[in-house]
Structure 1
Amino acid sequence: MAKRKRKARKRKSGVRLLIWVLVIIALFLGVYLAHHYYRIWNQQRIEEQMRRQDRQAKQTFIKQVAPEAQAMQNSYHVCASVTIAQAILESQWGTSQLASQYHNLFGIKGTDPANSKILTTKEYINGRWIVTKGRFRVYDSWSDSIKDHTKLMLNGTDTNKDNYQAVVQAKNYREAAQALQKCGYATDPDYAKKLISVIQTYKLYNYDK
């Protein structure tokens, strides 16, 4: 009889110990899962905040360059949407060294050492991208850069005064983007496609109205 009672007590003690072990495991698992999902939630929150800040920065850049681009369109018939899209692509949303330090939004080259700087750039040559050096114009403001860009469209290059007339005469942003590529503004073989994509993604065509 006494042995059975001792065995019963041992079984109860074993059950209680097992329950405590399970409770402790459950607590640790709960803490781990809570910490794990908090990290996921916090990471998602940070990423969403960064995306929101990125969207805000891009909209700020568009609003900064749009008024001058529209003024040039109204006076000289150069599509504002294409001017803005070029500024976005060429300057990496105004963050490139050329744009942020020297106010050159369009990668316009220069020859006079007094108002130009030699910087590293990428060119698409013989089917591949290469890093090279180029001399680029320096401006006092983004507004001056946009005006000079329009001047380039109107007056062409030193070797061809009519080089960009197809851009000026384009009826819409698609024609203007394709004309820019055909006229050799950039070496990128997808330049027109990228311009059109940026215009459509950020609804820049609304600035042409």
Structure 2
Amino acid sequence: MIHIGLAAALVVVPPIDQGAVRDAALTSGFQEAYVGAAAPIARAIHAAYDIPASVTVAQSILESNWGRSKLSTAERNHFGFKCVTPSSPGPIALRCARYPTTECIPAPCHPVDAYFRSYASIDDSFRDYGRLLTTSPNYAAALPVRADPDAFIRAVAKKYATDPEYANKVIRLMNLYGLRRFDAA
């Protein structure tokens, strides 16, 4: 079990079978399997950090290509979090790993190499997501609108991604796969 503590609150996250997450990503019906694996973790992150679970699942889908990207399979990084510097993985990640990526700022979009966080587990990746979105000044504008998943991701996207269509892509995933059901109590 993973215990996520936030002030006086203690949230228990059920253990996730890393192999099951990987296998789900590689089989037919992988979308449903990935959502089934990610949703309980996203709900625990919602309980600990009050972030819409629908947004958490949708961002993890987009950032990890349904858990099939090399970054998510090799580094268990389901949100594309970069390291501050090549040797600064942050308080939860284990190390930094170099990967090619595309940046759109400055325009036009162009390929670059960047250092991404590497985690011990998918749980740690989701936990770092909750921690970062609720503690970084970059996302402070999103916190007052967290009851509205669309407004929340639109505010987060302004600093989270360089893709100008990022928020729309996340919202499309929430709508297409009915992810708002995970926001219900």
1:118 aligned partner, one-letter code: R
1:151 aligned partner, one-letter code: R
Deviation per residue, 1:125-149 (Å, 9 max, x gap): 3432211100001001111100001
Greater C-alpha Rg: 1
Q: Distance in 2 between matches of 1:125 and 1:197?
A: 23
Q: Which has the higher strand share?
A: 2
4+ residue segments displaced more than 6 Å: none
Give the conservation status (yes or no) of the 8 Å contact 1:76–1:168.
no
Deviation per residue, 1:71-129 (Å, 9 max, x gap): 11112111111111111111111111100110000110113266110111111134322
Give the conservation status (yes or no) of the 8 Å contact 1:82–1:195.
yes
Deviation per residue, 1:23-54 (Å, 9 max, x gap): xxxxxxxxxxxxxxxxxxxxxxxxxxxxxx64
Residue of 167, 172, 176 corresponding to 1:197: 172
Residue of 95, 100, 114 corresponding to 1:120: 100
The aligned runs of 1:34-183 (5 Å cut-off) are 54=28, 56-110=29-83, 111=85, 112=87, 115-156=95-136, 162-170=137-145, 171-182=147-158
Q: Secondary structure at the match of 1:73?
A: helix
Q: Secondary structure at the match of 2:57?
A: helix
The answer for the alignment partner of 2:181 in structure 1 is 206
Give the conservation status (yes or no) of the 8 Å contact 1:118–1:133.
yes
1:185 aligns with 2:160: yes
> Which stretch shows the higher mean deviation, 104-113 or 190-199?
104-113
Q: Secondary structure at the match of 1:133?
A: strand
Comparing both chains, which one has the higher relative contact order based on Cα–Cα distances under 8 Å and sequence gaps of 6 or more?
A: 2
User: Percent of aligned pairs with the same residue?
Assistant: 35
Aligned residue pairs: how many? 150
Give the alignment's TM-score, normalised by structure 2.
0.77
Unaligned runs of 5+ in 1: 1-52, 157-161
Give the conservation status (yes or no) of the 8 Å contact 2:58–2:170.
yes
> Which stretch shows the higher mean deviation, 106-115 or 192-201?
106-115
Q: Distance in 2 between matches of 1:154 and 1:192?
A: 18
What is the CA-CA distance between 1:61 and the residue it aligns to?
A: 0.7
Give the conservation status (yes or no) of the 8 Å contact 1:103–1:141.
yes
The answer for the alignment partner of 2:22 in structure 1 is none
**RMSD in angstroms over aligned alpha carbons?**
1.4
Give the conservation status (yes or no) of the 8 Å contact 1:65–1:143.
no
